[in-house]
Amino acid sequence: MECFVKHGQRTIIAAAAAAALVLLGGCGAGEDAAEGSGNTSSGTRLAVVATTPEVADFVRTIGGSDVTVTQIIKPNVDPHDYEPTPADIQAIGKAAIVVKSGVGLEGWLDQTIESAGFKGTVVDSSQGVTLREGGHEEGEEGHEEGEGAHEGEEHDPHIWHNPLNAKTMVANIEKSLAAADPAHAAAFAGNLKTYAAELDKLDADNEAAFARIPADQRKLVTNHDAFGYYVDRYKLEFVGSVIPSLDTSAELSAKQLNELVAKIKATGTKAIFAETSLPPKSAEAIANQAGVKVIGGADALYGDSIGAEGTPQGTYLGAERHNTQVIVTALGG
Amino acid sequence: MGDVAVAEAALRYAEVSVGYHGAPVLTDVNLDLVPGQRLALIGPNGAGKSTLIKSILGLVPVLAGTSTVLGGAPAQARTRTGYVPQTDSLDAAFPVTAGQVVMMGRYRRIGWWRPTRTADRRAVHEALDRLGLADHGGTHFGVLSGGQRQRVLLARAIAAEPRLLLLDEPFNGVDAVSQDAILSVLRDLSAAGTTLVLSTHDLTVAHELADTVCVLNRRQWAVGPPDETLTADTLRRAYGGHAIELRDGRTVLVEP
Amino acid sequence: MIEPFTVPFMGRALAELALLALVCGPVSVFVFARRLSFVSDALTHTVFPGVVVGFLAGGIEGIVVGALVAGVVTAVALTLLSRGGALSDDAATAVVLTAMFSIGVVLVSRRSSYTSDLTSFLFGRILTVTPRQIAETAVLAVVILGLLLISARALVFRTFDPAGAAAAGFRIAGLDLLLNIIVALVVVAAVRAVGTILVVALLIVPAATARMLTARLPLMAVIGTGLILVAAYGGLLASWTASVDHGISLTSASAVVLLLVLAYLLLLPLGALRSRRKHGRIISSEARRSPHELVG
């Protein structure tokens, strides 16, 4: 009898721990989730569900007070493996429009939409954006990625890190909002015009900031491959990433790890940039070995997320300005 | 001899070797048992007693010689043989009642999934009753004493109504009351024509119950009536030359 | 308290969990009695690479096939290994299993695509089960319960007394394989709803909890099923209430499993009391010594 109980207990404790972990993951930023359910019911305004914090920010900016936005993924939550809650599915079921970031980022969305019985329009904000291939274009020769890694059909979904792509995204969003609520089309168009100008300014500011850094010092090592479009746009050299995949669930092999360390040393890269939605642990280990610093904590980059609402980084523009400022400071300093 | 004797033989082993993976554990076994005969297998631990019993059940292969159990190959006879395992090979913590354990003896008759019938329940009750456990049908097997558990297992074997009953150390860790109950039931079974084969290292029990004994240790050393077979000389040879005492004309074995 | 379940996706989630409850109650009794929690654990690890290979070969449709194949292969391998006595080495087995799981992770990493469909296998997506998935689970449930119904008597005999069952003409290896395959089928059926990590809980906690209330096997199965049903209802309701009314994102599968574990913990003192009262006479040396005792 004793060994029955003892054995069972071990597994039960493990199961409880696993459940608690999943639970904690989900609870990460629960405190500001109420916004969604509270507002969707308010009558005449257009009910829009947006998946990621970036896209939700775009919709809020373009829609202004004429739409209510339910944002599914909270700030600093990894969008790659998200588990929707009943409230999320409920909100999608009641929404008129669902806006997604697209390019396969929200793999969970199709099934969720099906479950919710959503019959409205799904807006893929990535429409018209020129996509990067997956894998690592800049970091290729140093990585033993070889067989089968480049399928050709895999595209990098982190499109918003190029402000010009963001312009396309907001234009798509404006078009769909106007189609769904023609009465407010003029207001949406006005908001788009203002915001497009701000995006152009962000782009110009970024250009100017990197122009101050010598070309051979513009080297980037990040936590996962989130910054491909950013690297392309501002002509940076991508040395490698701690998680050598567009997804966050991949793992670095020992060989890849050693090569990354060697490459960091060889190229004279100054820092590894951590990301807000990912634990910085492996980044720290690699930085230790390579003798460089990890830019993390308050200075972590917004790769898959933006900051908490109400903070300066709580908008797309704020988060992107933060990223550029952190990178430029670290590389220039 | 002749056809009649062949048909009547309960067990016939001629020059048999048994063992696992081609390596013999026990060799030179010659046995010839008729219905109702009571054979005790005598030998030290590791002599091959359990292996011989399992070979009769068809669970350990016969490597050489000819073996016939109830007129056929050992595995074919399983429907008519009964087996009482050593109690400590069981999962005593497993949540079953004594009645359910005895019902297991009927499983082969009932089949894999047909419900139990009145006849099965009656057989279970009668078997328990014969061993003085009529009131314990609903008792959890794990809370019974060692002797009571052994009686339950014998009841299970009886419920299957076997023609050949094999018992592996049935008196190990058994109290006097249980031992008397078991001995009495075994004598009755034998009188009714059931052939008994039991392993033991208790010479007193062998004298008391068996009409034939077989002295084993890696091979068969002697077989015959207890008084003629359990001699100091034979036992000394089978057991390795010492730890034998003679007292009151009987052989007493003292294992180191 | 019924109203949330009138929303279609909540109703579907409850239906899926109810089907799993029907299956996991009885199966967990055998997992408990044969101490197969280790096997369940192993299966959740080995099914993962099967899922990945199935996905790579046939997309979403290939996942169930991949999981089924991997599950059955594991069931056969574990049966063979435990017969050879090789499984007594806990550490070696753990290494093998971890290796299998790593193969899955490597395959996922090699393919630098978005794998959220695959990661969902780790955590499950109970709220987004489709009617088709429910139908698949129902088919698996019928197969599993059918197999159990046919073999329950033989499995009980084999579990209690392997030597006696073999002597009575039951094929022990066949029965072991059958039970391992039944567990594999449960893992495959449950994995999409609650994920590989949490499916272990569904296979272990119900019977372990029920054992504290009764010593009768059929009753254990019924109580186990009842427990999962209550936990499913309570967990989904809690998840609904937390996220819809209070804006706290409580994921449903974790809520269900936590309720199950909570029930176990609450009943622990009761179980201790019972076993002291009823089995006080059992001496501890009776812990069994079968080679099938896989984990100490």
Angle, alpha carbons C160-C26-C224 (nearest 5°): 110
- Top residue of C102, C133, C209, C249 to mutate, by most chain A CBs within 10 Å, is C249
Question: With 70 as the cut, is the pLDDT of residue A127 above it?
Answer: yes
Question: With 90 as the cut, is the pLDDT of residue C87 above it?
Answer: no
Question: With 70 as the cut, is the pLDDT of residue A94 above it?
Answer: yes
pLDDT band, very low/low/confident/very high, at C14 (cuts 50, 70, 90): very high
Q: Worst-scoring range by mean pLDDT, A208-217, B196-205, B233-242, C282-291?
A: C282-291
pLDDT band, very low/low/confident/very high, at A333 (cuts 50, 70, 90): low
The larger pLDDT score, comparing residue C252 to residue B5, is at C252
User: Is C154 at the interface with chain B, CB within 8 A?
Assistant: yes
Q: State the average pLDDT over residues A90-117.
A: 88
**Residue A145 confidence (pLDDT):** 36
The partner residue sitting opposite C248, judged by closest CB among A33, A38, A253, is A33
Computed over every residue of chain A, the mean pLDDT equals 79
Question: With 50 as the cut, is the pLDDT of residue A325 above it?
Answer: yes
- Residues of B in Cβ contact (< 8 Å) with C211: 95
Computed over every residue of chain C, the mean pLDDT equals 79
Q: Give how far A1 is from chain B: nearest CA, Å.
A: 5
Q: Worst-scoring range by mean pLDDT, A42-46, A100-104, A251-255, C111-115?
A: C111-115
pLDDT-flagged residues of chain B (< 70):
1-8, 241-256
CB–CB of C150 and B112 under 8 A?
Answer: yes
> How is the beta sheet containing B195-200 ordered, strand by strand?
B81-84, B164-168, B195-200, B38-42, B212-216, B220-224
CB–CB of C244 and A87 under 8 A?
Answer: yes
**Residue A40 confidence (pLDDT):** 40
**Residue C109 confidence (pLDDT):** 60
pLDDT band, very low/low/confident/very high, at A23 (cuts 50, 70, 90): low
User: Longest C-alpha distance within chain B, in Å?
Assistant: 57
- Residue whose pair of structure tokens reads 């970036």 in the numeric block: A54
Angle, alpha carbons B131-B111-C171 (nearest 5°): 90
User: Tens digits of per-residue pLDDT, A280-297?
Assistant: 777 888 888 888 888 888
Chains with ≥3 CB–CB distances under 8 Å to B: A, C
Cα A87 to Cα A248, B216, C127, C234, C262, distances in angstroms: 25, 76, 11, 16, 24
Question: With 90 as the cut, is the pLDDT of residue A83 above it?
Answer: no
The partner residue sitting opposite A11, judged by closest CB among C123, C204, C293, is C204
Question: With 90 as the cut, is the pLDDT of residue A202 above it?
Answer: yes
The partner residue sitting opposite C9, judged by closest CB among A115, A135, A249, is A115
pLDDT band, very low/low/confident/very high, at C292 (cuts 50, 70, 90): very low
User: CA C97, CA C84: separation in Å to the nearest integer?
Assistant: 17
Tell me A133's DSSP state. Answer: B
User: Tens digits of per-residue pLDDT, C97-108?
Assistant: 777 777 776 666
- Residues of C in Cβ contact (< 8 Å) with A73: none
Sign for the pseudo-dihedral over CA of C256, C258, C263, C264? positive
What is this structure's pTM? Answer: 0.77
Rounded to the nearest 10 degrees, the angle between the axes of helix A163-180 and helix A53-63 is 60
User: Is C209 at the interface with chain B, CB within 8 A?
Assistant: no
**Residue C78 confidence (pLDDT):** 73
Q: Would you list the DSSP string of chain C?
A: --GGGGSHHHHHHHHHHHHHHHHHHHHHHHHHHTT-HHHHHHHHHHHHHHHHHHHHHHHHHHHHHHHHHHHHHHHHHHHHHHHTTGGG-HHHHHHHHHHHHHHHHHHHHHS-S--HHHHHHHH--GGG--HHHHHHHHHHHHHHHHHHHHHHHHHHHHHH-HHHHHHTT--HHHHHHHHHHHHHHHHHHHHHHHHHHHHHHHHHHHHHHHTTT-S-HHHHHHHHHHHHHHHHHHHHHHHHIIIIIS-----HHHHHHHHHHHHHHHHHHHHHHHHHHHSTT--GGG----TT----
**Residue B189 confidence (pLDDT):** 94
**Residue A63 confidence (pLDDT):** 93
Chains with ≥3 CB–CB distances under 8 Å to C: A, B
Question: With 90 as the cut, is the pLDDT of residue A310 above it?
Answer: no
Tell me B144's DSSP state. Answer: S
User: CA A195, CA C126: separation in Å to the nearest integer?
Assistant: 39
User: CA A41, CA A94: separation in Å to the nearest integer?
Assistant: 9
Angle, alpha carbons B117-B123-B126 (nearest 5°): 140
The residue of chain A with its CA nearest to that of C254 is A19
- Residues of C in Cβ contact (< 8 Å) with B83: 163-164, 167-168
Continuous H helices in chain A? 2-27, 34-40, 53-63, 86-94, 109-116, 163-180, 185-211, 228-233, 254-267, 281-290, 316-332
pLDDT band, very low/low/confident/very high, at A80 (cuts 50, 70, 90): low
The larger pLDDT score, comparing residue A25 to residue A57, is at A57
Q: Give how far C258 is from chain A: nearest CA, Å.
A: 6
- CB-CB neighbours of C61 under 10 Å: 11
**Residue C228 confidence (pLDDT):** 94
- Residues of B in Cβ contact (< 8 Å) with A3: 93
**Residue B45 confidence (pLDDT):** 82
**Residue C276 confidence (pLDDT):** 63
The C residues from 103 to 132 touching A (CB cutoff 8 Å) are 105-106, 108-117, 119-120, 122-125, 127-130
**Residue C255 confidence (pLDDT):** 87
pLDDT band, very low/low/confident/very high, at C243 (cuts 50, 70, 90): confident
- Residues of B in Cβ contact (< 8 Å) with C29: none
**Residue A148 confidence (pLDDT):** 36
Q: Worst-scoring range by mean pLDDT, C35-44, C123-132, C168-177, C272-281?
A: C272-281
The residue of chain C with its CA nearest to that of B58 is C167
Q: Worst-scoring range by mean pLDDT, A64-78, B53-67, B228-242, C22-36?
A: B228-242
User: CA C231, CA C257: separation in Å to the nearest integer?
Assistant: 7
pLDDT band, very low/low/confident/very high, at A34 (cuts 50, 70, 90): very low
Rg (CA), chain A: 21
CB–CB of B142 and A1 under 8 A?
Answer: yes
- Residues of C in Cβ contact (< 8 Å) with A304: none
User: Tens digits of per-residue pLDDT, C130-142?
Assistant: 888 899 899 999 9
User: CA B123, CA B111: separation in Å to the nearest integer?
Assistant: 16
User: Tens digits of per-residue pLDDT, A242-276?
Assistant: 876 666 666 667 787 888 888 888 888 888 888 87
**Residue A138 confidence (pLDDT):** 37
